Structure 1
Amino acid sequence: MLYDFDVYQGGTGKHTELGQGADVVLKLTSTLQFGATYNIYADNLFSGVPLLLKLKERGMLYVGTIRKNRLPNCNLEDEASLKKRGRGAYDYRVEDDHNIVAVVWYDNKAVTLLSSYVGIDPVGQARRWERKTKQHADVVMPAIIAEYNAFMGGIDKLDSFLAKYRFRMKSRRWYM
């Protein structure tokens, strides 16, 4: 369910040290009731460790994909070594002070996720199509991946509905 949205109107130049993406998330979550537990899901455009810590201060839990360069001092396995281990290979690190989990998982390519409440356990299975053998195969999938896929699928569904039922809006430019 779409709870809130913010139409991007170009850069304002007013950003905190967290960055523009994190500022958007904090603005959208500022209307939520303080003290209640909410799960926030986002992609790598918005994710970062400082954002996760700020949301934890507000009592909100977070799961999102993250770019590796936004994980300072976190030595996760690189994509080449995961590829050698095959589909379903993963590596993870836990930061104990703030209870943060970073996971990199290899399917067709490596994806890195960050979470403040879900880790790798319980490790499940995902059915994936193998091009080489032309049949389905079971691939190991950590719990954080299943959690992210379950809830980010709603964003994809919303995008699909918006594309299908798009309304036409005419506009005219006025040049001075």
Structure 2
Amino acid sequence: MIPYYGRRFGFKAWTAATRLGYGVHADLYEGKSEQRSTRLGEHVVTKMMEAMQKESPETQFSVFCDNFFTSPTLISNLQDKNIKVTGTMRQNRIDKCPLMDVKSVKKQQRGYYDYHLDTNDQICAVRWNDNSVVTLLSNEYGVHPIQKAKRYSAVEKKKVNIQQPYVVQQYNRFTGGVD
């Protein structure tokens, strides 16, 4: 016999926050209410940024998203509204970008990266090997200048410097306010 757990219900609270964790805009999600042509994450960010631009139209916004929200179409749509976006990316949303596949990057040394710059849309896609392979998209930051990151090496039993693309450093610097 399979137990009955009922229907899932509740609210999701979407929050835009500063890098220090101060909420600047919030939206409650009660479930699908209208037909939309975009993914939920794209819809949430676009709607929130439109509201924030309406509140302070003179402000230049720079948005950092995790992989639930980030996609090439989100970045293109917000770029048309003069909003800068940087975010981690799910592997299945990379849409024909000529980056090395995840398995090949994972076999490389720690700190290895591959990138591609779309010159039409000015979107930089980066795949970087750290503890795991991370993919980022940005219309604000690129790979250069290459940064150094300290990581513990189990082989050498000490902290070593590895290469870190600039976009990764900026993403780590400005995220962490809300999760």
TM-score (norm. length: structure 2):
0.80
- The equivalent position to 2:42 in structure 1, one of 1, 10, 22, is 22
Runs of 4+ in 1 over 3 A off after TM superposition: none
- The yes-or-no answer on 1:4 pairing with 2:45 is no
The 5 Å alignment of 1:33-112 reads 33=53, 34=57, 36-112=59-135
Counterpart of 2:122, as a letter, is: N
Q: CA deviation at 1:35?
A: 5.5
Counterpart of 2:48, as a letter, is: L
Q: CA deviation at 1:13?
A: 4.6
Do the aligned partners of residues 18 and 82 (structure 1) sit closer, same or farther apart at CA in structure 2, a change above 3 Å counting? same
Counterpart of 2:125, as a letter, is: A
- Measured in 1, the distance between the counterparts of 2:173 and 2:133 equals 18
2:171 counterpart residue number: 148
- Measured in 1, the distance between the counterparts of 2:35 and 2:129 equals 34
Higher helix residue share: 1
Q: CA deviation at 1:26?
A: 1.2
Q: Deviations for 1:8-27, whole angstroms, at most 9, x for unmatched residues?
A: 33x21524222111111012
Q: Which runs of 5+ in 2 are unaligned?
A: 1-17
Percent of residue pairs identical = 34
- Measured in 2, the distance between the counterparts of 1:7 and 1:13 equals 12
Higher relative contact order (CA 8 A, sep 6+): 2
Q: Which moved more, 1:57-66 or 1:129-138?
A: 129-138
1:139 counterpart residue number: 162
Do the aligned partners of residues 69 and 35 (structure 1) sit closer, same or farther apart at CA in structure 2, a change above 3 Å counting? farther
2:151 counterpart residue number: 128
2:73 match: secondary structure: helix
CA contact (8 A) 2:111 2:164 kept: yes
- Measured in 2, the distance between the counterparts of 1:84 and 1:21 equals 31
1:168 counterpart residue number: none
CA contact (8 A) 1:95 1:101 kept: yes
Do the aligned partners of residues 12 and 84 (structure 1) sit closer, same or farther apart at CA in structure 2, a change above 3 Å counting? closer
Counterpart of 1:31, as a letter, is: A
TM-score (norm. length: structure 1):
0.82
Do the aligned partners of residues 88 and 59 (structure 1) sit closer, same or farther apart at CA in structure 2, a change above 3 Å counting? same
CA contact (8 A) 2:88 2:137 kept: yes
1:30 match: secondary structure: helix
